[in-house]
């Protein structure tokens, strides 16, 4: 079917653009929220609807599987807050991988393409992408095809039945004649609203954090590790289906070590109500006492004895995680564990060079998280983590009374939380000293020695990330004006060529290329194993939208 739309892209583009958004959708526009938010346009076609929503202040993710139409749509919406994605129903796999939720999902003139056996699943996936209070708008075409396309009959009652199963409210049903004047075609539009989250994930997390019985801090340690991973390295997801998200078990073990290293080795704080020993704290863990947390980052290269020690410490941590918090963190009122582990095949640990990447960490096995819970940890990390840390401090206060809250707070501080631009600053200094031009990515103006800043594209204060792809050369004026704001979507797109040119000049073909891609693959959604700069930029744009959506951050429009 996408072949038809690609082969006839120009004709269809002109046809779609001949109709105004307000005319096509006037019957339901009264339900469009007055406050713009995030919209998903499924089957975006020419970009007409995406452009109209963007003009009203919405940020739009436009999904279109036809290469030809998508290219024309991208041209038509250039400079607007519209990001395009090659994806399609039924799965919407790339959209789902972002863990985003939308205030509006528009499925216009698409439903008749879906075979009846695909529709219930498609509807469920769409509802899972809705934010609380969000609108799902689906238009149904009634009438025969006038060309080679195959349209399946579709009925209002079918959608209303799906909505009842998913606890959606039917806000409106509208009938309309065909805007192109075809007498044999009419349209019916249904508007659904999601009254609340409906997944039960937040109550479950609150139960684990606050109410669940705990003889140690291990349940909180596991939950904080998962929340940190979902927020900071979503690119390391191994697989996802309707029910589960799988991540490398070694990644969970690595984050476990990073959490407990300062608590036990540096501050000597008890993590058990009774008993003196920790199952994971064997010789390898204690050997990490003087190792910097920065040496335990995802993507880090390790050599010799340190590499072997870290891998052994991860193996010991995984054994404790599987045997303790995974086994005892159960669904309320039952004995079924919330999480699941598939242990990896044993492998020999040797003192040889390694990189802490997806493949290496997956050798320890796979850790399975309910998909709804993963999405919740991703979206609400900025609220969940403080709640976990607060409860963790309360638990430790019950285990030892001689310390004050400040001691617990310092010990629980995430140790990568140090703003660091030194490596990129040295790189820029070297380029300027050798006469290689470097421009401010936001203004395109040439930078001078000692008269520039290194900007965290996604602000450090809101998302602690020192990865190479996130550190960009900027003028002092631009960096100061941007401050802690996100770059606006249009500004980021305008700077695309300068950002990509900087990445290429600074990292490709050099000693930091592997680090650059390893960090990007870990932190940015949807990159997977790709090693190309357009993929990294696409991931950056997705992460920008994700941060704006999850944290409601202010945007910087650029220097006026």
| 299 and 283 in a common domain | yes
- Between CA 134 and CA 32 the distance in angstroms is 10
pTM score, whole prediction: 0.78
Q: Which of 102, 132, 128, 126 is nearest to 36 (CA)?
A: 102
Which token pair is 197?
């989250």
Residue 126 forms part of a structural domain:
yes
Q: Are 140 and 170 in contact (CB under 8 A)?
A: no
C-alpha to C-alpha distances, 32 to 63, 104, 105, 123, 549, nearest whole angstrom: 20, 8, 11, 20, 18
The residue written with tokens 């900025």 in the block is: 382
Q: Per the omega criterion (within 30 degrees of 0), is the bond before 90 cis?
A: yes
Q: Which of 99, 4, 27 is nearest to 61 (CA)?
A: 99
- Between CA 483 and CA 540 the distance in angstroms is 18
Q: Any residues with CB less than 8 A from the CB of 101 and at least 6 apart, and which? A: 38, 129, 130, 131, 132, 134, 375, 379, 549
Q: Which of 152, 187, 400 is nearest to 276 (CA)?
A: 400
Q: Is residue 45 pLDDT above 90, yes or no? A: yes
* Residues in the chain, overall count: 560
Average pLDDT over residues 258-266: 93
Final residue belonging to a domain, choices 193, 218, 242: 193
283 dihedral zone (left: phi>0; alpha: psi -120 to 50; beta): alpha
CA angle 162, 230, 391 (to 5 degrees): 105
| 526 and 426 in a common domain | yes
Average pLDDT over residues 85-100: 93
Average pLDDT over residues 226-237: 94
455 pLDDT tier (thresholds 50, 70, 90):
very high
Q: Which of 103, 96, 123, 60 is nearest to 194 (CA)?
A: 103
Q: What share of the chain in percent tops pLDDT 70?
A: 98
Q: Which of 61, 180, 183, 35 is nearest to 109 (CA)?
A: 180
- Residue 139 phi, psi dihedral angles, 5° rounding: -105, 140
Residue 36, judged by CB atoms within 10 A of its CB (0-12, 13-18, 19+), counts as: middle
Element (H, E) at 397: helix 381-399
CA angle 516, 465, 374 (to 5 degrees): 100
| 36 and 102 in a common domain | yes
Q: Are 486 and 470 in contact (CB under 8 A)?
A: no
Final residue belonging to a domain, choices 193, 218, 238: 193
Q: Which of 84, 191, 77 is nearest to 130 (CA)?
A: 191
Residue 97 forms part of a structural domain:
yes
| 366 and 238 in a common domain | yes
The residue written with tokens 């797109």 in the block is: 493
Q: Any residues with CB less than 8 A from the CB of 332 and at least 6 apart, and which? A: 204, 207
Q: What is the pLDDT of residues 319-371, one digit of tens each?
A: 999 999 999 999 988 889 999 999 988 889 999 999 999 999 999 999 999 99
Q: Any residues with CB less than 8 A from the CB of 377 and at least 6 apart, and which? A: 205, 226, 227, 230, 231, 369, 384
Q: Cα–chain-centroid distance for residue 233?
A: 8
Residue 417 forms part of a structural domain:
no
201 or 211: which leads in pLDDT? 201
Which pLDDT score, from 0 to 100, does residue 1 have?
57
- The domain total for the chain is 3
Element (H, E) at 174: strand 169-177
| 377 and 337 in a common domain | yes
Q: What is the pLDDT of residues 413-422, one digit of tens each?
A: 887 667 889 8
| 467 and 403 in a common domain | no
| 283 and 374 in a common domain | yes
- Between CA 43 and CA 62 the distance in angstroms is 7
CATH of the domain at 72: 3.40.50.150
| 343 and 228 in a common domain | yes
The domain of 54 spans 2-193
Which token pair is 473?
């050369």
Which token pair is 74?
């991208």
- Between CA 325 and CA 381 the distance in angstroms is 20
Which pLDDT score, from 0 to 100, does residue 462 have?
85
Residue 171 forms part of a structural domain:
yes
| 486 and 449 in a common domain | yes
Which pLDDT score, from 0 to 100, does residue 151 have?
87
| 438 and 370 in a common domain | no
Q: Is residue 197 pLDDT above 80, yes or no? A: no
- Between CA 421 and CA 429 the distance in angstroms is 12
Q: What is the pLDDT of residues 283-328, one digit of tens each?
A: 999 999 988 887 898 988 899 899 999 999 999 999 999 999 999 9
Which pLDDT score, from 0 to 100, does residue 213 have?
74
The residue written with tokens 């501050």 in the block is: 267
| 304 and 394 in a common domain | yes
Q: Which of 128, 148, 167, 162 is nearest to 375 (CA)?
A: 128
Final residue belonging to a domain, choices 174, 193, 212: 193
H helices, E strands: number in the chain: 24, 17
Q: Is 93 helix (H, G, I), strand (E, B) or coil?
A: helix
CB-based contacts of 268-271 (< 8 A; 24+ apart in sequence): 269/396, 269/399, 269/400, 269/403, 269/407, 269/408, 269/411, 270/396, 270/399, 270/400, 271/216, 271/217, 271/218, 271/221, 271/396, 271/399
| 301 and 179 in a common domain | no
């Amino acid at each position: 079917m996408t072949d038809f739309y690609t082969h006839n892209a120009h004709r269809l583009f002109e046809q779609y653009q001949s109709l105004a958004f307000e005319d096509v959708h006037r019957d339901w526009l009264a339900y469009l929220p007055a406050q713009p938010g995030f919209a998903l346009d499924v089957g975006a076609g020419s970009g007409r609807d995406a452009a109209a929503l963007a003009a009203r202040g919405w940020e739009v993710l436009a999904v279109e599987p036809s290469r030809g139409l998508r290219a024309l749509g991208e041209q038509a919406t250039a400079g607007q807050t519209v990001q395009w994605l090659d994806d399609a129903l039924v799965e919407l796999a790339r959209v789902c991988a972002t863990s985003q939720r939308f205030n509006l999902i528009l499925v216009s003139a698409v439903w008749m393409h879906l075979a009846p056996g695909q529709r219930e699943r498609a509807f469920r996936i769409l509802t899972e992408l809705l934010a609380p209070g969000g609108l799902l708008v689906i238009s149904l075409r009634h009438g025969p095809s006038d060309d080679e396309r195959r349209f399946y009959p579709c009925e209002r009652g079918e959608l209303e039945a799906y909505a009842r199963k998913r606890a959606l409210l039917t806000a409106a049903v509208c009938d309309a004649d065909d805007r192109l004047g075809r007498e044999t075609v009419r349209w019916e539009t249904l508007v659904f609203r999601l009254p609340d989250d409906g997944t039960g994930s937040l109550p479950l997390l609150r139960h684990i954090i606050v109410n669940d019985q705990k003889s140690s801090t291990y349940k909180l340690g596991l939950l904080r590790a998962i929340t940190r991973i979902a927020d900071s390295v979503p690119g390391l997801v191994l697989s996802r289906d309707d029910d589960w998200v799988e991540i490398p078990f070694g990644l969970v073990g690595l984050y476990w070590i990073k959490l407990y290293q300062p608590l036990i080795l540096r501050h000597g704080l008890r993590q058990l109500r009774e008993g003196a020993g920790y199952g994971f704290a064997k010789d390898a863990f204690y050997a990490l006492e003087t190792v910097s947390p920065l040496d335990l980052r995802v993507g880090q290269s390790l050599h010799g004895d340190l590499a072997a020690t870290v891998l052994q410490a991860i193996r010991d941590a995984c054994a404790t995680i599987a045997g303790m918090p995974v086994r005892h963190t159960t669904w309320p009122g039952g004995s079924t564990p919330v999480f699941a582990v598939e242990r990896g095949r044993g492998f020999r640990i040797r003192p040889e060079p390694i990189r802490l990447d997806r493949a290496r960490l997956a050798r320890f096995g796979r850790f399975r998280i309910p998909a709804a819970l993963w999405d919740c940890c991703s979206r609400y990390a900025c609220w969940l983590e403080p709640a976990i840390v607060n409860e963790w401090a309360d638990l430790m206060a019950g285990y030892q009374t001689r310390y004050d809250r400040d001691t617990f707070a310092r010990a629980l501080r995430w140790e990568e939380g140090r703003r660091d631009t030194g490596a990129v600053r040295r790189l820029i200094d070297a380029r300027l000293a050798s006469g290689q031009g470097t421009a401010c990515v936001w203004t395109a103006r040439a930078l001078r020695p000692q008269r520039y800043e290194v900007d965290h594209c996604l602000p450090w204060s809101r998302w602690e990330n020192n990865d190479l792809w996130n550190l960009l050369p900027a003028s002092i004026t631009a960096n100061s004006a941007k401050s802690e704001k996100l770059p606006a979507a249009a500004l980021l797109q305008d700077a695309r060529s300068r950002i990509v040119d900087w990445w290429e000049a600074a990292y490709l073909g050099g000693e930091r290329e592997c680090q650059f891609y390893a960090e990007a693959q870990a932190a940015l959604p949807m990159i997977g194993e790709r090693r190309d700069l357009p993929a990294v930029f696409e991931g950056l744009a997705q992460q920008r939208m994700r941060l704006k959506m999850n944290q409601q951050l202010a945007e910087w429009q650029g220097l006026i």
